[in-house]
Structure 1
Amino acid sequence: MRQESWSRPQVDLEVAEGDRFDFDEALLPDDSWEPTAADGDYEVAEILRHRDRRSARQGRILREFEVRWVGYSEPTWVAEENMNCPALLADYQDRLKAQGRYAVMQADDESA
């Protein structure tokens, strides 16, 4: 036996312009959409390389990235879970893929 599809009830609400409430405007400060650099925040300029190491305590592989920071000359190693720059991580992964393809092409040329 086939059940007929149900239609949802619809109600049109009429709200006067003066009674409307803009939550964003009322509750958020004017500059809330602009990123702010709080004390202790650093901006990643470039991801240089990565390394994988085994955690002695947890026994799992941990990935770290060597990053160069905006305004600093010395790079540092940062754990993957502390990286907050998805666009730079995606660019770095794309660079790794491109390098891998280039290495495969070179190996193929040498074997021919």
Structure 2
Amino acid sequence: MRQESWSRPQVDLEVAEGDRFDFDEALLPDDSWEPTAADGDYEVAEILRHRDRRSARQGRILREFEVRWVGYSEPTWVAEEDMNCPALLADYQDRLKAQGRYAVMQADDESA
């Protein structure tokens, strides 16, 4: 014997246009998608140099970058895993490669 499936009761709501509520518009501040300094996010202006240190606790090499921030005069050291600017990191790596090639070319000129 097969049981009949039951359906939930349904009620159609009719809401006037003026009574509708947009939760996104009402609850979120204006331009809330734009990051601000108050959110704890800072923008990297430039990567100046890097250093490698050995972690005493983990015994592995940790790379840190000295960065200059937008709106701040003093640079600070930031761990590689905390860097969130892949384009600037790629530019910095390209600069290092170019400096290495230039040094090799100079050494070759001096030996000739």
**Larger C-alpha radius of gyration, 1 or 2?**
2
Q: How does 1:47-86 map to 2 (within 5 A)?
A: 47-86=47-86
Indicate the larger mover: 66-75 or 35-44.
35-44
Cα separation, 1, equivalents of 2:43 and 2:85 = 9
What is the TM-score with the length of structure 1 in the denominator?
Answer: 0.69
Q: What is the CA distance between 1:64 and its match in structure 2?
A: 0.1
Structure 1 residue 71: deviation in Å? 0.5
The answer on whether the counterparts of 2:35 and 2:41 sit within 8 Å (CA) in structure 1 is no
**Runs of 4+ with >6 A deviation:** 1-30
Unaligned runs of 5+ in 1: none
Q: How many angstroms does 1:3 deviate by? A: 43
Unaligned runs of 5+ in 2: none
Pairwise CA distance, 1:100: 0.2
| Aligned-pair CA distance for 1:12 | 30
Deviation digits for residues 65-91 of structure 1, max 9, x if unmatched? 000000000000000000000000000
- Classify the secondary structure of the residue corresponding to 2:39: coil
Q: 1:23 to 1:101 in 2, by over 3 A?
A: farther
Once the two structures are superposed, what CA deviation does each residue of 1:26-60 show, in whole Å capped at 9, x if it has no partner?
A: 99999677555552111000000000010000000
Q: TM-score, normalised by structure 2?
A: 0.69
Number of aligned residue pairs: 112
Structure 1 residues 3, 84: closer, same or farther in 2, change over 3 A? farther
Does the C-alpha gap of structure 1 residues 17 and 69 become closer, same or farther in structure 2, counting only changes over 3 Å? same
